[in-house]
Amino acid sequence: MELCSRTLTTLLHRTSSSSSSSSSHSLLRATTCNYATPSKSSNYFNLSSSSSSHYHNHHVLHHFQQPPFLFHHHHGSFSSFIVSASSSSSSSSSSSSSVAASSTEEKMDRLPAELNVTETQEPNSRVRLQVEVPPVVCEDCYKRVISEFTKQAKVPGFRPGKPVPESILVGYVGRKNVQKATIESILRRTLPHAMTSVTRKALPDSVRIVTKFSELEKTYSSQGSLRYDVLADIVPEIKWVPDNGYKNLKIVVEIDSDIDAQKASEQEFKRRHKSIGALKVVADRGLQVGDVVVIDISATTIDQDESKIKNIPSAESKGFNFDTEDGYRILPGFLDSIIGIRPGETKSFPLVFPETWNQENLRGVHAQFTVECKELFYRDLPELDDSIADKLIPGCTTVQQVRDLLLQRCQEVEQSAREQATDNAILDQISKMVEVDIPQSLFEEQGRQLYGASLLEIQAKMNLNDQQLASLSSQKAVNEYLEHQKDNIRNLIKQNLAVGDIYRRENLQFSTEDLVKEVENSITEFKRQNQEYDEERVKDQVQEILEGAKVLEWLREHAEIQYVTR
- DSSP assignment of 154-174 equals --TTS-TTS---HHHHHHHH-
β-strand partners of 292: 323, 377
In the chain, the amino acid numbered 377 is: F
Q: 290: phi > 0 → left, psi -120 to 50 → alpha, else beta; which?
A: left
Short-list 289, 297, 375, CA closest to 340: 289
Is the separation of the CB atoms in 403 and 265 below 8 Å? yes
Give the 3-state secondary structure percentages of the chain, helix then strand then coil, rounded to 5: 50, 20, 35
- Burial degree of 522 (CB within 10 A; 0-12, 13-18, 19+): buried
pLDDT in tens, the chain (566 residues): 333 323 344 444 444 444 333 334 555 544 333 333 233 333 333 323 333 333 333 333 333 332 222 222 333 322 233 333 443 333 333 333 334 333 334 457 899 999 999 999 999 999 999 999 999 999 999 999 998 988 888 888 888 778 889 888 889 999 999 999 999 999 999 999 999 989 888 987 889 999 999 999 999 988 888 999 999 999 999 999 988 889 989 999 988 877 889 988 998 999 999 999 999 999 899 999 999 999 999 999 998 888 888 999 888 889 999 999 887 788 999 999 999 999 999 999 999 999 988 888 889 999 999 999 999 999 999 999 999 999 999 999 999 999 999 999 999 999 999 999 999 999 999 999 999 999 999 999 999 989 988 888 888 777 778 888 888 888 898 999 999 999 999 999 999 999 999 999 999 999 999 999 999 999 998 888 888 888 998 998 899 999 999 999 999 999 999 988 87
In the chain, the amino acid numbered 404 is: D
Helices and strands in the chain, H and E counts: 17, 15
Q: How far apart are CA 496 and CA 72, in angstroms?
A: 10
Q: Could you tell me the maximum CA-CA distance found in the chain, to the nearest angstrom? A: 110
Q: How far apart are CA 344 and CA 413, in angstroms?
A: 43
Q: How many C-beta neighbours within 10 Å does residue 457 have?
A: 17
What are the helix (H) ranges across 277-351? Answer: 334-338
Strand bridging mode 116-122 / 126-133: antiparallel
CA dihedral 69, 74, 80, 83 (to 10 degrees): 70
Beta strands in 381-517 (DSSP E): 434-435
H or E, element range at 130: strand 126-133
* Full-model pTM: 0.63
Q: How many C-beta neighbours within 10 Å does residue 100 have?
A: 12
